[in-house]
Amino acid sequence: MTESAYRTIRLHALGDILREHRRSRRNFRALVEGDVCYTYEQFDVRVNRLANLLRAKGMRKGERLLWMGQNSHRLLECLLAAAKLGAICCPANWRMSESEMAAVIEDFAPHVIIWQEAEVGDTVRAARGKVKDEHCWIQHDSDGPDSYEALLAIQSDRDDEERIEPELPVLAVYTAAFGGRPSAALITHSAVMYQNLIIGRVQGVDESSVNLNSGPMCHIATLMTTLAVFHHGGCNAFIARMNAEDVLKCIEKERVTHAFLPPPTIEQIRAINAEGKYDVSSCWATADAQEYNGNPMVAPASSPWGRNFGGYGQTEVMGMFSMRAFGGSTMAGRPISMVQVRIVDETGQDVPPGETGEIVVRGALVMSGYFDRDRPGEENETRSRDGWHHTNDLGKREEDGSLVFVGPKTTIIKSAAENVYPAEVENCLRTHPAVADVCVIGVPDPKWEQSVKAVVVLRSDASATPEELIEHCKARIASYKKPRFVDFADALPKAGFVVDRKAVDAAFGGGGYPKAH
């Protein structure tokens, strides 16, 4: 009897954080978008109305809400309303094609879909035409009588304060299609809260922080900071999508302290603001502040993140789970305190420091599984083995315990019975002083199935022979992994920021990367 009283008293989930902000920071700014500004009291009132609306639409604990729009304060309201209901909110990627969108709707089976007309409306309508008519659709950017705002206005703002288990999932994020189709990683309240505390410290977030949601909110890299700022009672500002001029205006107007800005946006900002048109001093003390130079998660220069930028992670583990800010000599740093990390071989045994294996992880930041991937042979089985989540990434430990991310495990070359990971061979070649860039492919071999070939871009001021490079590898990695052939190129084709492996493979006689087992 009394044990369960204290069990209930101990429950604390994202909705409870909002409730306490309403008491402790009633008049603090919580949400800012254009001319709209809501305090934490107003935020909580709106979330209560939305929760009551969703409940009136029949949405219950464990059910799902899909956001099909761009960045908006309403997306954070949806996440918090889902949190108060014990439901799950998924911010879909608004850049999907209509068939991708339809596939997500069918896969995620949301009870309610909040959608947007601006920029996304045509695709949404097309996707809607492809799926069964079994969802409740609410448009958020309309002033019609059935719009989000109109429906909210007529709801009660009563908070029934249902106690929510923090082990329930609250956030779903679709991740890379390792299995051929994207899957939604389900993130629990407690994973979000632990990460909020960690990111809050690392990025120097407190109640005075103003975070510009400029990165896409369907990505964990953006959400990590959004949620940490919410958690600490700071202010989240929103722009619908990344746009350098909008970013600059918002930084000046809202005195932004945190943002997500990829290098291309930084370059645009540099160009637009070369003569100081906008006051960005709240974000960067100097125009050449370290984080201005390509750190996509902009945090104060004095924060642990600003001083020791770098980390490693994945969506399935609530974003970064290893960070330089917690020590270590590598870019990935040391694992954070709420997870355990091992480097294992194909049989699940630990490999010694310095040797490459798969990074596996367990602990409080790991997802509670992919949504609806529970059938035999599906992702929830293949990715969870022996009590560890398998990242599908290769890594190694330095002697001092630091983690190194080597590359994806799913891109492999088959040489006889052995799997060769191109990323590992490339990492080895990059340690040669003459190598500027490199891509390793597998060329057909009648005897060994594939042979390893390295396509190398040399530094303009350096030279090396194929034999030298092969010897370099032989001294450092297992002999069967060393390139048998080395070709030279002036540059490698890119897809975005990364090497386009398929194009290299096609141009240099490769046989394709076999599917990883």
- Name the site residues for its own copies (rule: CB under 8 A): 1-3, 5-12, 16-17, 19-20, 23-27, 163, 166-167, 188, 190-191, 193-194, 196-198, 200-201, 206-208, 231-233, 326-328, 334-335, 337-342, 362-364, 366-369, 373-374, 378, 380-381, 384, 387-389, 397, 400-402
- Minimum CB distance to its own copies smaller for 146 or for 350: 350
- Minimum CB distance to its own copies smaller for 7 or for 125: 7
- What's the closest the beta carbon of residue 193 comes to its own copies, in angstroms? 7
* Residue whose C-alpha is closest to residue 371's, from 85, 15, 32, 65: 65
Burial profile 381-401: b = 16 or more Cβ within 10 angstroms, e = fewer:
eebbeeebbbbbbbbbbeeee
- Minimum CB distance to its own copies smaller for 52 or for 188: 188
Q: Which two tokens stand for residue 459?
A: 């530094």
Helices (H), 308-414: 379-382
Cβ-contact 99, 54 below 8 angstroms: no
Whole-angstrom distance, CA of residue 31 vs CA of residue 34: 10
Question: What is the CB neighbour count within 10 angstroms for residue 416?
Answer: 12
- What's the closest the beta carbon of residue 409 comes to its own copies, in angstroms? 18
- Minimum CB distance to its own copies smaller for 140 or for 389: 389
- Minimum CB distance to its own copies smaller for 144 or for 387: 387
Cβ-contact 56, 31 below 8 angstroms: no
- What's the closest the beta carbon of residue 387 comes to its own copies, in angstroms? 6
DSSP string, 472-490: HHHTTS-GGGS-SEEEE-S
- Minimum CB distance to its own copies smaller for 128 or for 231: 231
Burial profile 144-154: b = 16 or more Cβ within 10 angstroms, e = fewer:
eeebbeebbee
Cβ-contact 281, 255 below 8 angstroms: no
- What's the closest the beta carbon of residue 17 comes to its own copies, in angstroms? 6
- What's the closest the beta carbon of residue 78 comes to its own copies, in angstroms? 21
- Minimum CB distance to its own copies smaller for 135 or for 373: 373
- What's the closest the beta carbon of residue 470 comes to its own copies, in angstroms? 34
Q: Can you say whether the dihedral through the CA atoms of 443, 446, 451, 456 is positive or negative?
A: negative
Question: What is the CB neighbour count within 10 angstroms for residue 365?
Answer: 26
- What's the closest the beta carbon of residue 145 comes to its own copies, in angstroms? 36
- Minimum CB distance to its own copies smaller for 373 or for 481: 373
- What's the closest the beta carbon of residue 113 comes to its own copies, in angstroms? 25
Q: How does strand 88-91 pair with strand 64-68?
A: parallel
